[in-house]
Amino acid sequence: MLLYIMEFAELIKTPRVDGVVLHRPFMPTVEGTLCLTGHHLILSSRQDNTEELWLLHSNIDSIEKRFVGSLGHITVKCKDLRVIQLEITGMEECLNIASSIEALSTLDLVSLMYPFFYRPMFEVIEDGWNSFLPQNAFKDLESMTDEWRLSEVNKDFSLCPSYPPLVAVPKDFDDETLKKVATFRHGGRFPVLSYYHKKNGMVMMRAGQPLTGTNGRRCKEDEKLINATLRPGKRGYIIDTRAINVAQQAKARGGGFELEANYPQWRRIHKAIERYNVLQESLIKLVEACNDQSHSMDRWLSKLEASNWQTNVKEILTTACLAAQCIDREGASVLVHGTEGTDSTLQVTSLAQIILDPGCRTVKGFQSLVEREWLQAGHPFQQRCAQSAFSNSKPRHEAPVFLLFLDCVWQILRQFPCSFEFNESFLVLLFEHAYASQFGTFLGNSAAERARLCLPEKTVSLWSWVNRPQELERLTNPLYEPNSLVIWPSVAPQSLLLWEGVFLRWNRSSKCLDEAYEEMVHIIEYNKELQTKVNSLRRQLAQLETEDPLLHTP
């Protein structure tokens, strides 16, 4: 540990500069002292009532510096899409600060990340690392059906490095069969249970693509396994998240898709969800469009269109609706996969659950969904969220896959504003923490990596912090009324909006909207208060009536 701290010290050439001016959009300018620590950029001023700036280095996506005489300007662009400016007098100080920020924000050694150094200043009521254990989730499933079992076949992560140690599989298939199936699926991701629809017993499974290759390899065990999830005489749907031609091309690289001849009880549907590298480009273009301050409507609309972001939202949401439709309306089981089964597949399976399962629309239920369908399911968060929209480097594995999922959830939330226990702030919070956080939850790329890093022992879980009354109050939706029904969102382009809370968050003053939200909370609370008073008075009167017969009016 000491060694690491030494290392930080080496990177920080100038730890402190006075007289630095901070510019932030829609906020007053602050002048103060800039301090660099191993993990933070801090600007504090001695004036009262001015907000200090605490910025995690890991939140910094890119920086730019320029000089006007000896006055240096550093533009800091953050992963949460905020852009701030620092004015530093003195060329040397400015250059030192800039190069330190650059170095500190691009450290890629996981064990140097802030979560390993962060000590909570709050009381942990419930340790988030234990809140969503697979064995507990499985208990709920057991109460509904006995057709599935928890397998430990992957307990040392050897069969599938991106799967958790425990997975739910059809009861009648032993671990030996699973091992055979794993060899036939991309990344060893054999079909596992993603969701059980209590209403009709239909299931949603997910997997990696089958490794059919060009010569149409098949795997009897794989065929049997997925057939076993069908009810007698019923058909199922395989939702391939790639366009048919993309899936065809995958054959040349050893991948492929399920041939109808080999899976006669399954109907395959191809939906074109973009692959992760394309999505990154889309994010960059969208953010660029949102930061364009030109007053031309045509330019804005054409840039918005060219970014394809809204198209991606629509495609993902449509595919999720389709999966949900197959399960709920068709009474059919569904298998979802793309190529690796760690990106578009998870978008679809998790969104379908939001639509189908009211439980996922609660705060805890949504956390559990993120835990199950994203963290445990092996979405490579560390790779995908290494850089955001302002990065100058060529993207390798970066992609806003999770952000798109959150965007889709927000779209559904907009359409059913009373059916979610959480509000938009919760979704924004998850976006922020996926990219930069003091908590260990989103570190690493898989359950295996997290186990190796000993995250539960060495870091604090985001859920530990969120699930405290003071945080929950800020994140809960005052309009929430449990809605036990399936909710079908509209996917018409006219119904899908740009998520301003993320993409225009720093480009507009949210004061008016925030005040209106406060007013709404006030109206709801006032109503509750009144109802309580009325009821208590009524009860008192009723009691008096029974006590004193003279009060009975003739």
Partner 1 sequence: QKYYHYVHLFLQVEQVRLLDRFSNKSVHGTLYLTATHLIFILHHHIASVEKLSLTTSGCPLVIQCRNFRVVHFVIQRERDCHDVYSSLLRLLRPVCYEELYAFSYNPKQNDQQREEGWQLIDLGAEFERMGVPCDQWQLTDVNRDYKVCETYPRDLYVPVTASKPIIVGSSKFRSKGRFPVLTYFYQEKKAAVCRCSQPLSGFSARCLEDESMLQAISKANHNSRFLYVMDTRPKLNALANRAAGKGYENEDNYSNIRFQFVGIENIHVMRSSLQKLLEVTGTRSLSMSDYLVGLESSGWLRHIKAIVDAAVFLTRAVTVEGASVLVHCSDGWDRTAQVCALGALLMDPYYRTIKGFMVLIEKDWISFGHKFADRCDQLDGDPKEVSPIFTQFLECVWQLTEQFPQAFEFSEWFLLQIHEHVHSCQYGNFLGNNQRQREELQLRERTHSLWAFLMSEKRNHLNPFYSPAYSEAHPVLEPSTLPYHFKFWRSMYHQFDRSMHPRQSILKTILTLKENSRKAESTLQALESVSTLLHIPPATSRLPHSGSEEDEQEEVGEEATESTDTERTVEGSSGTESRKQSYGELEGTYNSDLVKEEPAVVSLEFGVARMTC
Q: Which of residues 231-290 bind partner 1 (CB under 8 A)?
A: 269, 271, 290
Least distance to partner 1, CB of residue 257, Å: 15
Closest C-alpha among 11, 16, 86, 80 to residue 387: 80
371 and 381 in contact (C-beta within 8 Å)?
no
DSSP string, 436-457: S-SSSTT-SSSHHHHHHTTHHH
101 and 76 in contact (C-beta within 8 Å)?
yes
Closest C-alpha among 196, 189, 188 to residue 170: 196
- Nearer CB in complex with partner 1: 162/411: 411
For 200, the token pair is 């009709």
Least distance to partner 1, CB of residue 261, Å: 20
Q: Does residue 446 touch partner 1 according to CB under 8 A?
A: no
From 156-164, 199-207, 339-347, 496-504, span contacting partner 1 (CB under 8 A): 496-504
Among 489, 499, 502, 506, binds partner 1 (CB under 8 A): 489
Cβ neighbors of 134 (< 8 A, separation 6 or more) are: 150, 164, 165, 166, 167, 372, 376
| Interaction pattern, residues 467-486, with partner 1; x per rule: CB under 8 A | ------------x---x-xx
Cβ neighbors of 403 (< 8 A, separation 6 or more) are: 283, 431, 434, 502
Among 419, 423, 437, 464, binds partner 1 (CB under 8 A): 419
- Nearer CB in complex with partner 1: 52/519: 519
237 and 243 in contact (C-beta within 8 Å)?
no
Where in 43-82 is the site for partner 1 (CB under 8 A)? Answer: none
- Nearer CB in complex with partner 1: 52/305: 305
401 and 276 in contact (C-beta within 8 Å)?
yes
Where in 385-414 is the site for partner 1 (CB under 8 A)? Answer: 414
- Torsion, Cα of 294, 295, 300, 301 (10° steps): -160
Rounded Cα distance, 18 and 34, in Å = 6
From 92-100, 124-132, 423-431, 532-540, span contacting partner 1 (CB under 8 A): 532-540
Rounded Cα distance, 125 and 415, in Å = 34
Rounded Cα distance, 261 and 227, in Å = 13
Among 111, 245, 392, 540, binds partner 1 (CB under 8 A): 540
- Nearer CB in complex with partner 1: 112/486: 486
Least distance to partner 1, CB of residue 506, Å: 13
Q: Does residue 345 touch partner 1 according to CB under 8 A?
A: no
Q: Does residue 377 touch partner 1 according to CB under 8 A?
A: no
- Nearer CB in complex with partner 1: 82/384: 82
Among 198, 498, 501, 505, binds partner 1 (CB under 8 A): 498
Cβ neighbors of 331 (< 8 A, separation 6 or more) are: 200, 202, 234
Q: Does residue 487 touch partner 1 according to CB under 8 A?
A: yes
Rounded Cα distance, 6 and 9, in Å = 5
Least distance to partner 1, CB of residue 348, Å: 12
By CB under 8 A, the count of residues binding partner 1 is 78
SS3 (DSSP) at 236: strand
For 553, the token pair is 């009016």
Among 203, 427, 475, 496, binds partner 1 (CB under 8 A): 496
Where in 19-48 is the site for partner 1 (CB under 8 A)? Answer: none
Least distance to partner 1, CB of residue 500, Å: 8
Among 125, 133, 144, 418, binds partner 1 (CB under 8 A): 418
From 43-51, 293-301, 374-382, 468-476, span contacting partner 1 (CB under 8 A): 293-301
How crowded is the C-beta side of 273, counted as CA atoms within 13 Å? 29
Sign of CA pseudo-dihedral 175, 176, 181, 184: positive
Locate the DSSP E strands across 45-146: 53-56, 60-68, 71-78, 83-89
Least distance to partner 1, CB of residue 430, Å: 22
Least distance to partner 1, CB of residue 167, Å: 28
Least distance to partner 1, CB of residue 322, Å: 4
Least distance to partner 1, CB of residue 320, Å: 9
Where in 501-530 is the site for partner 1 (CB under 8 A)? Answer: 504, 507-508, 512-513, 515-516, 519-520, 523-524, 526-527, 530
Q: Does residue 541 touch partner 1 according to CB under 8 A?
A: yes
- Nearer CB in complex with partner 1: 13/414: 414
From 147-155, 167-175, 423-431, 498-506, span contacting partner 1 (CB under 8 A): 498-506
For 274, the token pair is 């973009």
Q: How far is CA 420 from CA 316, 317, 359, 437, 523, in A?
A: 20, 17, 10, 25, 19
- Nearer CB in complex with partner 1: 117/517: 517
Closest C-alpha among 5, 129, 93, 15 to residue 443: 129
- Nearer CB in complex with partner 1: 133/520: 520
- Torsion, Cα of 139, 166, 195, 489 (10° steps): 110
Where in 119-138 is the site for partner 1 (CB under 8 A)? Answer: none
Least distance to partner 1, CB of residue 330, Å: 7
For 147, the token pair is 């057709």
Least distance to partner 1, CB of residue 119, Å: 40
Least distance to partner 1, CB of residue 274, Å: 13
Rounded Cα distance, 459 and 187, in Å = 28
Where in 173-232 is the site for partner 1 (CB under 8 A)? Answer: none
| Interaction pattern, residues 294-333, with partner 1; x per rule: CB under 8 A | xxxxxxxxx-xx--x-xx-xx---xx-xx--xx--xx---
